Structure formats: C-alpha cells, structure tokens
Amino acid sequence: MSMRYRSTRASADTPGVELGAALTAGLAADGGLYVPTELPTIELSAPTVLSDTARRWLTPFFADSSLADALPALCTEALELPLPRVAIGDHGDQVLELFHGPTAAFKDFGARFLAACLSALRQPQEPIRTILVATSGDTGAAVAGAFHRRSGFRVLILYPDGRVSARQAHQLGTYGDNIHCFRVAGSFDDCQRMVKQAFNDQPLRQQCSITSANSISLGRLLPQATYYAHACAARYAESGKASNLIIPTGNLGNALAAMLVRACGGPIDRIALASNANRVLPDLFAQRHYRGRESVATLANAMDVGDPSNYERLAWLYPGESVFRAGIEAESVSDEQIRKRIQLSYLEFGYEACPHTACALEVLARKREQGDDNSWLIAATAHPAKFETVVEPLLGRAVAPPPALAALLTKPSRSTALPAAYDALRAELVALG
Ligand SMILES: *Cc1c(COP(=O)(O)O)cnc(C)c1O
C-alpha cells in the first residue's frame, strides 16, 4: 500500500502528493491543510515504549514515501521521551503528562519529529532553510530546541514583548547559534501577521528559503497521534476498555491527533475538548454552526485562539452534521475557574497543574458533579513551572522546574527588539540571506 496526502480543499478524487512533499510544503498550494487520502486501520497490541509504538503506528502513513526507510531512526531520534500516566482521584482517572521533553510542553513531540523529518529530507546542496515562527510561548521554544545547531537550518522566532511569561521569554533567548530571537513591540496577532506577510512576499521567497513550523504541519500532527495511540493501547491492555479523553484545546492540533487515532481504529471512545474563554468550539457544538472570531487573552495563553487553524481538518474528518454525532464535546473554562481548579486539584489530589491542564481538570470536575462515573484520561500539556507567575501564588509555594527547564533558566538569554512592522522583519531576513 502507498499513502498519499491531499489538501482539505481538494476534491476527494485528487491523486495527492507523497509524504516528503507534503512535509516540505507545510500548507497546500491552494491554502488548505494536508490530510491522508485514506485512513488505515491500525491495531496495536502490547505496547512497550513510545518510539516502538510510533514506528508501528506511523508505518502506513510513511508507506512508499521518501522517508519510509528512515522512519525507525526518526522515531528513535525524536520520540524517546517519557510519557507518564499519573493516577488521580478514585474513578480510575489518569493524567497523561506530555511535558517531559526538553522545553516542558507537549509541542516538543511535534517539533522534534518535524525537525528530524526536514533534516532527513534535506539535499546536500540546498541553501540554508529559515524556519519562521510566530509564538505565544511554547511553540517557539519547542521549535528552537528541535532545530538548535542542526546544520542547514536556522530559526527566526517572533514573540510579543511583555506578553509571554518571564520564564518563557528567557527560555526563547537562551539558544543562540542558529536560533534568532526577536521580541516584537506588539501582540501575538501582529507577530503572526508579519510571518504571513513574509510567506506571501514572492520577491523575498526568490531570495530566501523560508519554511513554516506551525501546528498545521503534518510533521507535527502525525507524531502527536503516537502518544495517544500508545497510552490508549496500554490502558486497553490493562482494562479492556477504550479511553475517554479530555484535551486542552486551542488550535485543535493536539485533539485532532487523538481523533485521527480513533478514526484509525484506536481504543478511544469520547473526546472532550477543554477550551478557555475562547468559546469558538463550545459554541460550534452548542449552536451547530462554526464562527471564527478574534481571540481574547486568558491565563491559558497558549490556547488563546479565536479561529483554530486545524478546523479544516475537523470538517474533513467529520463532514457536515456528522461532527455532532462523533462522540466529541467541548466546554469553555473562565480564568476564574482556571484559578479555582489549580487550587482544588492541588488540595484534592496533590496535583500541580498548569493553566491549560487546569481547563481539562475543570471539565473533569464538572463531569463528576453531573454524576458521570466513567474513567477519563486527561492530557497535561505543559509543566506548571513554565507558568509560575500564575500557579505559584495560587498554591502558596514554589513549583520546581524540571531539570531540562532549570538548566535553560541558568543560561544567559538574548533577544533583539523589533517594531511590529513587516519591513523590519523583511530587512532581518534579507540580511541573514
Ligand atoms: C499549544 C498548547 C495548547 C493548545 O494545543 P492545540 O494543539 O493548539 O490545540 C495547550 N496547552 C499548551 C501548554 C500549549 O502549549
């Protein structure tokens, strides 16, 4: 069997492109997102370690591609990360901790795998490729960590000055070498607009080779599926039951990976999306109508998304009204409820949660109040020490950063100020060549 990928905007009989081409392009030429032309059925028994599950689960997605032979090495290089499940409460609930990678957020899985794939695809004579990212915090660090000192690549990060946590800002500036960090005098939306302008600037693109690493890339979506495949197969082996998931959600990349695992026959039952005050997905399910909007700022800032970029993949996987019969639900959590839940999770379970994970724990608490006695698997997306200014005052104690993050925080940090104007970014790109 061979696997091909086509745009969410292309008709179903479009032949599609090979995986390597889809990874290199990022976004499809028509502006849509790449999706597989067919969904394989993948059975996993007795999972051992994540890199092994990943190799088995991803094999059909790599079939007949330029990266097929490299797949085992890619999984070993990128996905040998710890994936603990921590039991909480007395209903068999577990927290799936996705934040034990080098930058302490789940985005390490996707960024490391994408970097390994793009390195493997690189031709020796190619000019240096610039990975251009706008970040509200976690993406930039994960991409910087994944591409640091990788030959043939440089990363240019734009983050909104004063609007990411102090630790996040420090972390972004610690890499140096081929990582160029810019603090922009503007909002995250300004950063994203500047990056989009660069991708639409054809004369610039003749001059510099720029690539995106944002959450629409297949190279991030596919590896994210592997941790759900692994954890849910392990839970199935233990209990004989499919897992119900609660996933903190912004751009819908992480949750879409779980839906993909389920669509390929993985032992997953219900999927609950936990949003912050950005209600676009809860409103979709309540009103049966999708309406993208401006984002609002919240304590769970990595989920401040008003128009999730992966929505097109949701509409592809569950066309029309079928999404409302797909065992998916979505709830919104306010900043006040995030604060309260960080405190209560600590008091009830001794569990220290970041503001994003707290949204999922709040959705779990509502289920318990409503008398639901299923067991749930809660995705924990970042280490609480990354959001210390929110978490520590609520817990009344310091939260120790994990070793990799602690090591980064002792290094000097450097960033360059940039006005929120495209011409300033363009000049930097041209100067780098
Ligand atoms: C990016 C991020 C999210 C949101 O993930 P999506 O894939 O955009 O839905 C949630 N929590 C944290 C900590 C993140 O960094």
pLDDT tens, residue by residue, 259-300: 999 999 999 999 999 999 999 999 999 999 999 998 898 999
**Which one, of 54, 57, 58, 67, lies nearest residue 21 by Cα?**
67
Q: What is the mean pLDDT of the chain?
A: 94
User: Atom 2 (ligand 1): residue with closest C-alpha?
Assistant: 302
**Cα 151 to Cα 213: distance, rounded to the nearest angstrom:** 17
| Residues 401/141, Cβ–Cβ less than 8 Å | no
Within-domain flag for 135:
no
pLDDT band at 257 (very low <50, low <70, confident <90, very high): very high
Q: What percent of the chain has pLDDT over 90?
A: 82
CA of residue 101 to ligand 1 center, whole Å = 15
State residue 245's pLDDT score: 98
CATH of the domain at 360: 3.40.50.1100
**134 inside domain:** no
Kindly state if the Cβ of 332 falls inside 6 Å of ligand 1. no
Atom of ligand 1 nearest to the CA of 386: 13
3-state secondary structure of 426: helix
Q: Is residue 172 part of a domain?
A: no
295: number of Cβ within 10 Å: 22
* Most trustworthy range by pLDDT among 121-125, 162-166, 222-226: 222-226
Any domain includes 184: no
Best of 251, 252, 361 for a ligand 1 pocket test (most atoms within 8 Å of beta carbon): 251
Query: How many Å lie between the centroid of ligand 1 and the Cα of residue 302?
Result: 5
Instruction: Tell me how far apart the alpha carbons of residues 105 and 141 are, in angstroms, rounded to a whole number.
Output: 9
**Mean pLDDT value of segment 365-374:** 96
Residue 420 lies in a domain: no
How many domains would you assign to the chain? 1
The per-residue pLDDT for 31 is 84
pLDDT value at residue 187? 84
Residue pLDDT, tens place only, 62-93: 999 999 999 999 999 999 999 999 999 999 99
Write down the pLDDT at residue 188: 81
pLDDT at 165 over 90: no
Q: How confident is the model at residue 286, as a pLDDT?
A: 97
Q: Can you tell me which atom of ligand 1 is nearest the CA of 248?
A: 10
Strand, helix or coil for residue 419: strand
DSSP state for residue 213 in the 8-state scheme: -
Q: 381 C-alpha to center of ligand 1: Å?
A: 7
Task: Return the pLDDT at 47.
Answer: 85
User: For residue 416, which of 194, 143, 184, 155 has the smallest C-alpha distance?
Assistant: 184
> pLDDT at position 375, please?
96
Q: What is the pLDDT of residue 318?
A: 97
248 lines ligand 1 (CB under 6 A): yes
Q: What is the pLDDT of residues 289-316, one digit of tens each?
A: 999 998 898 999 999 989 898 999 999 9
Task: For 307-346, write each residue's pLDDT tens digit.
Answer: 898 999 999 999 999 999 999 999 999 999 999 999 999 9
> What average pLDDT does the segment 106-125 reach?
96
Token reading at 228: 């759900």
Phi, psi at 17, each rounded to 5°: -115, 165
Predicted local confidence at residue 89, as pLDDT: 93
Q: Supply the pLDDT for residue 397.
A: 95
CA atoms within 13 A on the CB side of 6: 13
DSSP 366-383: HHHHTT----EEEEE-B-
Average pLDDT (2-11) is 94
Residue 374, in any domain of the structure: yes
Interval 181-210 mean pLDDT:
90
Residue 65 to residue 118: CA distance in whole angstroms: 14
Q: Which of 167, 70, 81, 173 is nearest to 121 (CA)?
A: 70
CB crowding 345-355: b at 16 or more within 10 Å, else e: bbeebebbbbb
Residue of 33, 103, 109, 138 best suited for mutating to test ligand 1, as the one with most atoms within 8 Å of CB: 138
Confidence of residue 176 (pLDDT cuts 50, 70, 90): very high
In a domain, 297, yes or no: yes
231 falls within a domain: yes
Residue 91 structural domain = 83-106+219-400
CA atoms of 240 and 38, how far apart (whole Å):
28
